Amino acid sequence: MKILLKTCQLLIVALVLTGCKNKTEKPVEDTRTIIEKCTDQYTFLSDSIKSALDTKRMMPRNIGKNGQTGLTGIYDWTSGFYPGSLWYLNLLTNDSKWENLALEYTKKLDTIQYWTGNHDVGFMIECSYGNALKKEASAAFDSVIVQTAKSLATRFHPGAGIIQSWDSSKKWNCPVIIDNMMNLELLFHATEISGDSTYYNIAVSHANKTMENHFRADNSSFHVLNYDTETGEVLEKRTHQGYADDSAWARGQAWGLYGFTLCYRVTKDENYLNQALKIADFIKNHPNLPEDNIPYWDYNAPVDENTPRDASAAAITASALLELSGYLSTEKSNIYNTFANDIIKSLSSPAYFAETGTNNGFLLKHSVGSLPHGVEIDTPLNYADYYFLEALYRQQN
């Protein structure tokens, strides 16, 4: 009888534990506390860079080798992330202090709408003006989105069906990087605003070519493809920021996951959803993914105790997974939602989340910009903070 009772008790405990594991975790209390810490830390950051507001380098990007906050100008590819983070703080707290600051920094980017110098205008304008439009409708801001899409569309090669990432050089004929998937959000947004399907069609063409050419059999992606602009032939498959041409650069996998998820959001094309799921599984099941779910800078980098993690890749992945899980059946959704929440939990821990008043005001520690170029290794990065805040916002909503 005793043995039977004990067995029943164990069975009940096991069932309860299994139930908990399959339930969507939503650590509301923890999230609130972490949001408060984010506002304290960004108050510290914004106060510390106030004097640079009306200079040419006003956007905080990283911590330089000299320990000072690295500030950049509006043409830097990361210039939209600081205003974007301020918008997320406003959306998360409803405190008008963040709205005023976000507006001030967003408007600094006004001239970027006419810039055709590279593909990053999607990041720059969608993270700043795009998020401003989440807060409040504005015809003036709508027109910035549409004009930026016009500028970005000048980089589209109809023969090859792709948007050129960087200008041609001695090294590249027509380089397209996996990161470019992120710029499609702005094109979709411009069609939604203007009703002009040109931008939507360019985005779909680029996504389809990327799906066709950028991925390997194991569902990891190359970083850079070099195209012939007329025929669309892929001339080379290389890396720029990864460990090797045939390795899986961690942030590149995150950009792909986020990019195909957003393509599914807009088009409802199941091929994009399946591509996003394949990338999510590649990341989730990778043998080199550490137990705390924060990847090393490249999934194929040799690992020792000094190999840097990339918190930015983790933050982008978490935010993308939260969106992806919303498009799935309950059972599947729970898997990716739990994975996202586990990543956020790790990023919110003292190992990655900076104590208020430290880390020059940035939220997250331990990201990598470009290890092969020896820059931004194990540093805070403004885009790690941006996608972390976006993930908190998605978690909250």
* Contacts to ligand GLY by CB under 6 A: 77, 179, 241, 251
Task: Label residue 329 exposed, middle or buried (CB < 10 Å: 0-12, 13-18, 19+).
Answer: exposed
- How would you label 258-281 residue by residue, b for 16+ Cβ within 10 Å and e otherwise? bbbbbbbbbbebeebbebbbbbbe
C-alpha 392/C-alpha 302 separation (Å) is 32
Query: 312: annotated binding-site residue?
Result: no
Compute the least distance from the CB of residue 124 to ligand GLY, in Å.
11
Picking from 109, 105, 96, the residue whose alpha carbon sits closest to that of residue 136 is 96
Q: Per the annotation, does 155 bind a ligand?
A: no
8 Å CB contact between 266 and 279: no
Q: Which is nearer to ligand GLY, 60 or 395 (CB)?
A: 60
Between 240 and 365, whose beta carbon lies closer to ligand GLY? 240
* Cα distance between residue 240 and residue 372, in whole Å: 8
Spatial separation of the C-alpha atoms in residues 19 and 343, rounded to whole Å: 21
Q: How far apart are CA 272 and CA 274, in angstroms?
A: 5
Active-site amino acid positions: 120, 179
The two three-digit tokens of residue 131, written as one number: 């998020």
Q: Per the annotation, does 251 bind a ligand? A: yes
What minimum distance in Å lies between the beta carbon of 241 and ligand GLY?
6
**Smallest gap from residue 179 Cβ to ligand GLY (A):** 4
CB of 313 to ligand GLY, least distance (A): 9
Q: How many Å is the Cα radius of gyration of the chain?
A: 21
- What is the C-alpha separation between 145 and 187, in angstroms, rounded? 8
Given the complex with ligand GLY, which of 179 and 323 has the nearer CB atom?
179
Say if residues 305 and 353 touch (Cβ distance below 8 Å): no
Closest CA to 309 of 330, 288, 339, 337: 288
Nearest Cα to 341, choosing from 31, 15, 36? 31
Hey, which residues does 172 pair with through a beta bridge?
none
In the complex with ligand GLY, the residue whose CB is nearer, 99 or 179, is: 179
Q: How far is the CB of 253 from ligand GLY (least distance, A)?
A: 11
| 120 among annotated binding-site residues | yes
31 is in an annotated binding site: no
Beta carbon of residue 177, minimum distance to ligand GLY (angstroms, whole number): 7
Q: Which of 241, 261 has the CB closer to ligand GLY?
A: 241
Q: DSSP E strands: which ranges in 118-252?
A: 156-157, 162-163, 175-177, 224-227, 234-238
Shorter beta-carbon distance to ligand GLY: residue 251 or 309: 251
* Closer to ligand GLY by Cβ: residue 46 or 151: 151
Smallest distance from ligand GLY to CB 395, Å: 23
Nearest to 165 by CA among 99, 222, 111: 222
The whole-angstrom separation of Cα 299 and Cα 286 is 8
Q: Which residues of 135-167 are buried (b: 16+ CB within 10 A; e: fewer)?
A: eeeeeebbebbbbbbbbbbebbbeebbbbbbbe
Query: Which residue's Cβ lies closest to ligand GLY?
Result: 179
User: Where is the binding site, in residues?
Assistant: 120, 179, 239, 251, 255, 370
User: Where is the binding site for substrate, in residues?
Assistant: 120, 179, 239, 251, 255, 370
